[in-house]
């Protein structure tokens, strides 16, 4: 008879993705199992089991008969209040031997990749183990075969859309790093208005002030379940959903979070992340935009070429047609940086408003045209004309509206309660805008968790300013956040770099 | 005016070494700072500041005006209930760039090593970052210069004993992996009885069923403060203290914990760990015992040679004289495995009791003789005789008793409430005892946190047994733990491998 059980309760503690179980140090299970703080523990209910990290409760807030679960553990286990759970030392995670092998110079085989990704998808890796995996794959440490194996494994552990054999399904991805570069909703509208199928899923921001999903969430519902997303695409030919809600390549978020915490890029892992989500979305033809610039994510053409090759080869190995496009990554795109501010920009472009940012419009047209061409709608020139017509005629706006309504709403944008203008201290020409510092400024103002927050840019590179010209307006939902962003600006006044003009 | 403060309270949650701060998601600080779950947050009181990982409280147990700290955070900050603390996003940890550089193929410089170890010692690395550092150094990825740099840095961040210029200070270290191999207290007694100085600090078990500190704790006080340890050594010429209480090489425990969680050895890190503690203890002449055996930590003579070279070279770079000795690592040493059971073995040897385990006595004499020789007390033969005499005459026992009393007590050993004999299922010869499985068995019985728990072996390799012969006795302090060990035994009955004799 196994008496090693406790009744489950919800701790009300959010530890992000790491499942944590809280237990009293003097409870009978801790004692009889010899559990220690930070040990890995298997939690089994009748139906299912998870591995969680143990935090020992030395205070009085938990009963001896109970074990509390963090939000992640609660979710993963599908627990209900009062469920009976059994506990034991977690068995070693076998696939960690593949990670150790990699460190000793072995390559990761297809089976090895599958076992690692499968264990990660079941939450069997602790943060410490996740970090070791990410570190082992970091730098340029994955070869093409390994990258392909990991990509395939990432697809296999998630759900996958099928849109019918032989159909062309288009998709796009931007490698990122440019604040305000919110072309996707415009591109989707143009492409779908021309009859192509584009089941677009996007991510939320990780360290940036807005992901496409954050921006779209200020306009419509983006948390679509798998079947909802299918229905929207079947009705409208496209959607603008959050990828996290449809379980495509579910390990991706977990891996990315650790990469960000380490500020560590892995080219192989980046490629696997992008390609696996496209394959899972059922895409066949994918356009990849790599902005290249000194303060963008990809800093040189040489690096962009290597990345493009790897993306193309991996995509092709998984049956995709990949086109890559390098774009100018020298400064932010549009005026707004932050979910609602970026949404305002893209609405202005879609509605052909007079003040609509021309750079956002141009970028969107270029990408849409390339996708129309990949979709077989004619030559490059013809497709560019087609894209322009679609936008100018209002057909793209109509399609966008229809997609939003199919997803459940077209919402009114939120407005920030606090704003503050930042002005030029001296006369000159705007010589540079630092993408990275600008992103951080918008984040500190509260974006994306405060959707109305961010930065509104009044200038672009090349503009001439006088002392007192407004450079940008900070938007915040709370006074404290505004202050915080201002503090940061004061220590980084050069985010918009003004060079005195030589007379 | 900065209003980003909360009042500190103790969460009563033990997260081991990772400092964690708990905050309500709807408190004004979380909101104004834009903190997210698992983010890294700087917590500042007037005097001091730490970096902690944020867990977001979604339940009701914490007030909006308070932030709760895990035990590690509470300790590190030296907080008191109700202290006012300010919070902000933790600045990036600069030394992580050295870790990233290592992954991209750069070597770790002396300054780089110092910045990493200094940040670790101040608790600035999250578990995820610790894991990246350990992974980057794993396998055989540190060269000699890097190993020396890290060793030196580990010494620099802790306290260091000085025993007087020109004096010979001896020390020993065992690389480990053999259950029951508790020679240190016997060696210290013999060596100190002969007038040499041996300021011995030992570690607690990490995954093994007992460390020397755990065993000694069943006999005396081992938590000596720095000055207490100095006083004991000045009075008795030696001590048997727990290293953790005297802050020698304080980063070592943190690093080892992560290595164990990953089951990842780093030769360079192992060497740095050993040598840094010896230097910090003020030792000049160090004997290192490497047990070699199929189920020991070091599995072959080739691996032992590489490790020995690295230990010798690193030790010499830090001014130590290092002798290395390979010993037989084929089976457990003595009878007892577990703190009190091992203490009983070493008392039996020190007191020349008739049933004293001969293998433990022989090993201790060999090591003691080697140290006496290093200490300048004569030839190898002479020193072996001297060691034997010291033991046989009772002088070693007297010295051991005096050291224990100087440390505050000579305690009576605890006895397990529950025991269970495991008997041979068939006749034959004991062909092998698996050190790793045996360690796990003793751990599951409760060692070392239940000091009386463990395994008492009745047989050694080569012994002939009949069906029903007692092979070993499990000792436990709780019925549940006994059951747990028995379950494990039933799935690993071959831990003591019996071969049928060919007639």
* CATH code: domain of residue B433: 3.90.1170.30
Same domain? For A456 and A335 the reply is no
B168: preceding bond cis by omega (within 30 degrees): no
CATH number at residue A214: 3.40.1030.10
Handedness of CA B231, B237, B238, B243 (dihedral sign): positive
Alpha-carbon gap, residue A116 to A157, rounded angstroms: 11
* Domain end residue (candidates: B43, B64, B89): B89
Q: Which of A23, A63, A262 to mutate to test the interface with B (most CBs of B within 10 A)?
A: A262
**Is the CB of residue B352 less than 8 Å from the CB of residue B224?**
no
Question: Cβ separation of A12 and B60 shorter than 8 Å?
Answer: yes
Q: Are residues A391 and A472 in the same domain?
A: no
Verify that B220 and B338 share a domain, yes or no: yes
Question: B5: nearest CA in chain A?
Answer: A480
Listed in sequence order, the DSSP H helices in B218-334 are 226-236, 251-262, 267-280, 301-317
Across the interface, do B132 and A134 touch by the CB < 8 Å criterion? yes
CB contact, 8 Å: A63 with chain B? no
Instruction: Give me the residue label for tokens 């570690």.
Output: B203
Of B204-208, B237-241, B292-296, where does the model show the most confidence?
A: B237-241
Instruction: Flag whether A440 is in a domain.
Output: yes
Position B254 in a domain: no
Portion 82-101 of A in contact with B at CB < 8 A? 92, 96, 100
Contact status of A119 with chain B (Cβ, < 8 Å): no
DSSP code at position A298: B
Helix axes A358-374, A339-350, angle to 10 degrees: 70
At which residue do the structure tokens 């030296």 appear?
A: B78
Instruction: Name the 3-class secondary structure at A465.
Output: strand
The answer to whether A92 contacts B60, with C-beta atoms less than 8 Å apart, is no
What does residue A75 show for φ and ψ, rounded to 5 degrees? Answer: -65, -50
Residues of chain A found within 8 Å of residue B61, distances taken between Cβ atoms: 12, 61
| In contact, B310 and B271? CB cutoff 8 Å | yes
Residues of A in contact with B127 (CB under 8 A): 127-128, 131
Question: Catalytic one among B60, B265, B392, B487?
Answer: B265
Sorting pLDDT into bands at 50, 70 and 90, what band is A463?
very high
Sign of CA dihedral A195, A199, A204, A206: negative
Q: Is the pLDDT of residue A143 over 70?
A: yes
Question: Which of A71, A89, A107 represents a domain boundary (last residue)?
Answer: A89
Whether omega for the bond prior to residue A448 falls within 30 degrees of 0, making it cis, is yes
Contact predicate B132/A264, CB 8 Å: yes
Between CA A162 and CA A319 the distance in angstroms is 14
- Residue identified by tokens 């004289």 is B321
* Token pair recorded at residue A416: 């920030």
Q: Which are the contacts of B382, defined by CB distance < 8 A and separation ≥ 6?
A: none
Select from B1, B32, B441 the residue whose CB has the most chain A CBs within 10 Å, as the one to mutate to test that interface.
B32
Domain containing A121 — which CATH number?
1.20.970.10
Query: Six-digit token pair at B41?
Result: 């947050």
Under DSSP, is residue B303 helix (H, G, I), strand (E, B) or coil? helix
Q: What is the pLDDT of residue B2?
A: 58
Per-residue pLDDT at A1 = 42
A60: which chain B residues are within 8 Å (Cβ-Cβ)? 12
**Last residue of a domain, which of A373, A406, A439?**
A406
Q: Which of B20, B30, B5 is nearest to B74 (CA)?
A: B20
Closest CA to B370 of B166, B179, B196: B196
Same domain for A367 and A275? yes
* C-alpha–C-alpha distance, residues B39 and B9, integer Å: 20
CB contact under 8 A, A14 and B70: no
Residue A65's domain is classified under what CATH number? Answer: 2.40.40.20
Count of Cβ atoms closer than 10 Å to residue A299 Cβ = 14
Smallest CA–CA distance from B88 into chain A, residue: A484
For residues A419 and A479, the answer to whether their CB atoms sit within 8 Å is no
Closest C-alpha among A439, A438, A412, A375 to residue A187: A375
User: Buried b / exposed e across B164-182, counting CB within 10 Å, b at 16+?
Assistant: eeeeebbbbbbbbbbbbbb
Is there a domain that residue B161 lies in?
no
What's B315-379 look like in SS3?
Answer: HHHCCCEEEEEEEECCCCCCCEECHHHHHHHHHHHHCCCCCCCHHHHHHHHHHHHHHHHHCCCCC
CA distance B316 to B284: 10
B15 contacts on A by Cβ (under 8 Å): 37-38, 55
Q: How many angstroms away from the CA of A242 is the closest CA of chain B?
A: 19
Give the gap in angstroms from C-alpha B75 to the nearest C-alpha of chain A: 14
How many degrees, rounded to 5, is the angle at CA A52 between CA A131 and CA A73? 105
User: Which chain B residues are closer than 8 Å to A206 by Cβ?
Assistant: none
Same domain, residue pair A191 and A69:
no
If asked whether residues A337 and A357 sit together in one domain, one would say yes
Judge whether residue A446 has pLDDT over 50: yes
Indicate the burial class of A163 (C-beta count within 10 angstroms; 0-12, 13-18, 19 or more): middle
Q: Does A105 touch chain B (CB under 8 A)?
A: yes
DSSP B109: P
- Phi/psi for A329 (5° steps) reads -115, 35
Tell whether B81 and B208 lie within a shared domain: no
Cβ of B14 and A263 within 8 Å? no
Find the mean pLDDT for residues B352-378. Answer: 97
Structure tokens at A448: 């994306």
Q: Among A16, A131, A480, whose Cβ lies nearest the Cβ of B38?
A: A16
Sign of CA dihedral B332, B334, B336, B342: negative
Q: What is the CA radius of gyration of chain B?
A: 25
What count of other Cβ atoms lies within 10 Å of the Cβ of residue B412?
Answer: 9
Does any domain span residue B259?
A: no
Task: Give how many domains chain B has, as a whole number.
Answer: 4
Residues A256, A361, single domain; the answer is yes
The count of CB pairs under 8 A between chains A and B is 177
Taking CA–CA distances from A447, the nearest residue in chain B reads B34
Q: How far apart are CA A161 and CA A224, in angstroms?
A: 14
Residues A442 and A380 in one domain: no
Task: Report the residue of chain B nearest A104, measured CA to CA.
Answer: B139
Output helix, strand, coil percentages for chain A, rounded to the nearest 5: 40, 20, 40
For B65-113, what is each residue's pLDDT tens digit? 999 999 999 999 999 999 999 998 888 889 999 999 999 899 999 999 9
Name the nearest CA neighbour of A74 among A10, A15, A6: A10
Residue of B nearest to A59 (CA): B12
Instruction: Clarify whether residues A135 and A23 are in a common domain.
Output: no
Contact between A370 and A383 (Cβ < 8 Å): yes
State whether A58 and B17 contact (CB < 8 Å): no
Task: Specify the pLDDT at position A140.
Answer: 78
At residue A143, the 3 state secondary structure works out as coil
Residue B218 C-alpha, separation from nearest chain A C-alpha, in angstroms? 18
Counting residues of chain B whose pLDDT is more than 70, the rounded percentage is 99
Contacts of A264 in chain B (CB under 8 A): 100, 103, 132
- Kind plus residue range of the DSSP H or E element containing A52: strand A49-57
Spatial distance between the Cα atoms of A171 and A161, rounded to a whole number of angstroms:
13
Rounded Cα distance, A38 and A33, in Å: 14
pLDDT value, residue B177: 79
- Residue A386 parent element (H or E): helix A380-392
Residue A503 confidence (pLDDT): 63
Contacts of A75 (CB under 8 A, 6+ apart): none
Q: Do A128 and B126 touch (CB under 8 A)?
A: no
Is B265 considered catalytic here? yes
Q: Give the mean model confidence (pLDDT) for residues B35-55.
A: 89
Q: Are residues B296 and B334 in the same domain?
A: yes
Q: For residues A78-96, give the mean pLDDT.
A: 90
How many contiguous H segments (helices) and E segments (strands) does chain A have? 18, 19
Is B444 near chain A, with CB under 8 Å? yes
Q: What is the overall mean pLDDT for chain A?
A: 93
**Average per-residue pLDDT for chain B:** 93
Task: Answer whether residue B352 is part of any domain.
Answer: yes
**Over residues A267-281, mean pLDDT:** 94
Of A17, A61, A131, the CB nearest to B132: A131
**pLDDT tens digits, residue range B209-252?**
999 999 999 999 999 999 999 999 999 999 999 988 888 888 88
Q: CB-CB: which of B3, B135, B484 is closest to A103?
A: B135
Our CA-based measurement puts residue A142 at a distance from the nearest CA of chain B, in whole angstroms, of 12
Q: Is A129 on the interface with B (CB under 8 A)?
A: yes
Is residue A163 included in any domain, yes or no? no
A413 found inside a domain: no
Q: What are residue A262's phi and psi, to 5 degrees?
A: -95, -10
Rounded Cα–Cα distance for residues B35 and B57 (Å): 12
Cα B422 to Cα A5: distance, rounded to the nearest angstrom: 27
Residues A368-417: pLDDT tens digits?
999 999 999 999 999 999 999 999 999 999 999 999 999 999 999 999 99
Query: Whole domain around residue A295: which residue ranges?
Result: 170-406
Quick one: tokens of B334? 């003595």
Cβ within 8 Å of A, B 448-467:
449-450
Instruction: Give B1's pLDDT tier (boundaries 50, 70, 90).
Output: very low
Q: Which residue of A has its CA nearest to B14?
A: A56
Shared-domain flag, residues A401 and A273: yes
Q: Cα–Cα distance between B482 and A421 in angstroms, integer?
A: 70
pTM for the model:
0.86
Which residue is catalytic, options A127, A253, A265, A463? Answer: A265
The predicted model gives B34-63 an average pLDDT of 88
Residue A317 lies in a domain: yes
Query: What is the C-alpha separation between B416 and A225, in angstroms, rounded?
Result: 57
Predicted confidence (pLDDT) at residue A201 exceeds the cutoff of 70: yes
Q: What is the DSSP string of A303-360?
A: HHHHHHHHHHHHHHHTT-EEEEEEEE-SS--SSEESHHHHHHHHHHHHTT-TT--HHH
Task: Report how far residue B252's alpha carbon sits from residue B274's, in angstroms, rounded to the nearest whole number.
Answer: 9
Q: How far is B110 from B129, CA to CA, in rounded Å?
A: 20
Chain A, residues 231-260, CB within 8 A of chain B, namely 257-258
């Amino acid at each position: 008879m196994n008496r090693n059980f406790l009744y489950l309760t919800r701790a009300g503690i959010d530890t992000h993705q790491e499942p944590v179980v809280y237990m009293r140090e003097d409870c009978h299970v801790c004692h009889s199992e010899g559990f220690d703080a930070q040990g890995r523990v298997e939690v089994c209910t009748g139906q299912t089991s998870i591995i969680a990290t143990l935090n020992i409760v030395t205070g009085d807030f938990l009963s001896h008969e109970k074990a509390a679960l963090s939000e992640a553990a609660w979710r993963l286990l599908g627990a209900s209040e009062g469920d009976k759970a059994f506990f034991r030392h977690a068995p070693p995670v076998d696939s960690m031997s593949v990670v150790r092998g990699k460190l000793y110079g072995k390559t990761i085989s297809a089976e090895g990749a599958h076992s690692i990704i499968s264990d990660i998808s079941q939450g069997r890796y602790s943060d410490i183990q996740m970090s070791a995996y990410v570190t082992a794959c970091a730098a340029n440490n994955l070869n093409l075969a390994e990258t392909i194996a990991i990509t395939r494994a990432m697809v296999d552990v998630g759900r996958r859309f099928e849109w019918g054999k032989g159909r062309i399904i288009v998709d796009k991805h931007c490698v990122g790093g440019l604040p305000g570069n919110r072309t996707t909703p415009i591109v989707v509208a143009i492409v779908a208005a021309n009859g192509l199928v584009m089941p677009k899923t996007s991510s939320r921001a990780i360290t940036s002030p807005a992901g496409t999903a954050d921006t779209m969430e200020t306009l419509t519902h983006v948390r679509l379940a798998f079947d909802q997303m299918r229905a929207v695409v079947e009705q409208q030919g496209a959607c603008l959903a959050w990828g996290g809600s449809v379980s495509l390549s579910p390990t991706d978020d977990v891996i990315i979070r650790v990469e960000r915490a380490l500020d560590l890029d892995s080219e192989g892992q980046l490629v696997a992340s992008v390609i696996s989500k496209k394959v899972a979305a059922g895409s066949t033809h994918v356009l990849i935009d790599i902005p290249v610039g000194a303060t963008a994510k990809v800093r040189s053409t040489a690096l962009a070429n290597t990345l493009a090759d790897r993306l193309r080869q991996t995509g092709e190995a998984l049956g995709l047609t990949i086109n890559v496009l390098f774009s100018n990554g020298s400064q932010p795109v549009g005026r707004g940086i932050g979910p609602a501010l970026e949404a305002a920009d893209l609405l202005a472009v879609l509605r052909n408003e007079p003040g609509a940012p021309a750079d956002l419009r141009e970028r969107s047209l270029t990408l849409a045209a390339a996708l129309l061409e990949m979709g077989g709608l004619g030559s490059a020139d013809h497709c560019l004309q087609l894209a322009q017509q679609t936008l100018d005629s209002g057909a793209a706006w109509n399609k966008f509206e229809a997609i939003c309504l199919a997803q459940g709403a077209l919402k009114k944008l939120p407005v920030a309660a606090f704003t503050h203008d930042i002005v030029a201290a001296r006369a000159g020409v705007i010589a540079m805008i630092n993408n990275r510092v600008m992103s951080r400024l918008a984040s500190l103002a509260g974006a994306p968790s405060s959707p109305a927050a961010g930065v509104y840019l009044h200038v672009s590179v090349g503009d001439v300013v006088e002392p007192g010209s407004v450079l940008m307006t900070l938007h915040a939902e709370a006074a404290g956040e505004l202050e915080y962003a201002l503090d940061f600006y004061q220590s980084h006044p050069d985010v918009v770099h003004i060079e005195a003009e030589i007379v």
